[in-house]
Amino acid sequence: MSQPILGQIVAAFGRQYLVKLPDGEAIACVPRGKKSEAVCGDQVEIQRTAAATSDQSTGSQGVIDRILPRTSLLHRSDAFREKLIAANVTQIVIVVASEPSFSDELLTRCLIAAQDQDLNVLIVLNKCDLAEAAAAARVRLEPYRAIGYRIVELTALENAAPLLPLLQGHQSVLVGQSGMGKSTLINALLPDAQAATREISTALDSGKHTTTHAKLYRLDAQSSLIDCPGVQAFGLHHLDKTDIAAGFVEFSPYRGQCRFYNCRHQTEPGCALTEAVKQGKIDARRLQLFQSISGAQR
Ligand SMILES: Nc1nc2c(ncn2[C@@H]2O[C@H](COP(=O)(O)OP(=O)(O)OP(=O)(O)O)[C@@H](O)[C@H]2O)c(=O)[nH]1
Ligand SMILES: [Zn+2]
């Protein structure tokens, strides 16, 4: 058997994967086994099965033999199924905008997932050219700034450069609800993004469907960006209540401080969290979000 070739999954469509080699060659691959557990961002070992035809009408093909151990795995899930989003991500970039109004629950769900996988977090406030709406969005983001999250303000339509140094050295995943300007931001950061998307569609023969799947774009040798469409409801069914609580980083000083060990932090007397809210040390909306998100958990 020939030496395995190392590559990275840059797109997935059903059982079809596009794997990029370090020299930039793209190989359309299928998993060797029945199961296809690989996900965008995975490092994989492949074997070539066919070379590209000389007229380039068909590209190189291969099979995926092995997924290398992951440093992180981002997934979302509902009661019925779990969906892998991206592997080996080191940073999550959550795009919100001045307009339309963003969901702070979706933001919080992303933050919980980030904490669970120990990822660096950047919150991008886009559309700062809309001054009045931006001011209101800043107020809504203030509790997040206060507990230590980094917020980058920009106007993707004009200039995405403020984000570039913060992506350096990271494999970032970009998430955001529809209309926040994620596509605008990607196009501003990556002038070749549309060409890369066409390359993926051609190689995987997936036509326009590729738009609903994660795609990895390389920024430079050390940095890449995974565009992750369709994260409209970040289901966290794979996490238990303790994991959810851990995602509320400002709650940690109060852990174990409630009078009752099984306190639900609702109306119990001696609840350290509701007391902290009364004292203005925890934002009331954050405790509310904790209740609504953990209430849906197992
Ligand atoms: N004023 C203003 N509008 C922006 C900015 N960035 C994006 N937009 C607009 O916001 C709208 C949504 O932008 P998209 O980039 O399509 O948003 P998206 O998040 O990719 O949305 P989906 O494609 O639905 O996932 C478009 O009309 C953009 O022109 C900005 O910085 N300022
Ligand atoms: Zn309590």
CATH assignment at residue 58: 2.40.50.140
Give, as residue ranges, everything with CB less than 5 Å from ion ligand 2. 258, 263, 265, 271, 273
> Does residue 100 belong to any structural domain of this protein?
yes
Cβ of residue 22 lying under 6 Å from some atom of ligand 1: no
pLDDT for the residue numbered 206: 64
When pLDDT is cut at 50, 70 and 90, the band that residue 76 belongs to is confident
Same structural domain, 78 and 93: yes
Strand, helix or coil for residue 184: helix
Residue ranges making up the domain that contains 116: 73-227
Same structural domain, 82 and 218: yes
Give Cα separations from 66 to 18, 61, 82, 282 (angstroms).
15, 16, 21, 46
Same structural domain, 94 and 143: yes
Same structural domain, 100 and 209: yes
Same structural domain, 16 and 85: no
User: What's the whole-number mean pLDDT along residues 9-38?
Assistant: 89
> Does residue 240 belong to any structural domain of this protein?
no
Same structural domain, 60 and 195: no
pLDDT for the residue numbered 166: 97
Cβ of residue 127 lying under 6 Å from some atom of ligand 1: yes
Cα-to-centroid distance, 144 and ligand 2 (Å)? 21
Please tell me the total count of domains within the chain.
Answer: 3
> Does residue 279 belong to any structural domain of this protein?
yes
Please give the number of the atom of ligand 1 that sits closest to the Cα of 95: 19
Same structural domain, 47 and 178: no
Cα-to-centroid distance, 260 and ligand 2 (Å)? 7
User: How much of the chain, in percent, has pLDDT values that exceed 90?
Assistant: 69
Cβ of residue 182 lying under 6 Å from some atom of ligand 1: yes
> Does residue 232 belong to any structural domain of this protein?
no
C-beta atoms surrounding 42 within 10 Å? 24
Position 37 pLDDT exceeds 90: no
Cα-to-centroid distance, 225 and ligand 1 (Å)? 18
Tokens of 120: 């660096």
The 10s digit of each residue's pLDDT in 83-137 is: 888 999 999 999 999 999 999 999 999 999 999 999 999 999 999 999 999 999 9
**Interface confidence: ipTM more than 0.85:** yes
Q: To the nearest whole number, what is the mean pLDDT of the chain? A: 90
Give Cα separations from 110 to 92, 192, 271 (angstroms).
8, 27, 26
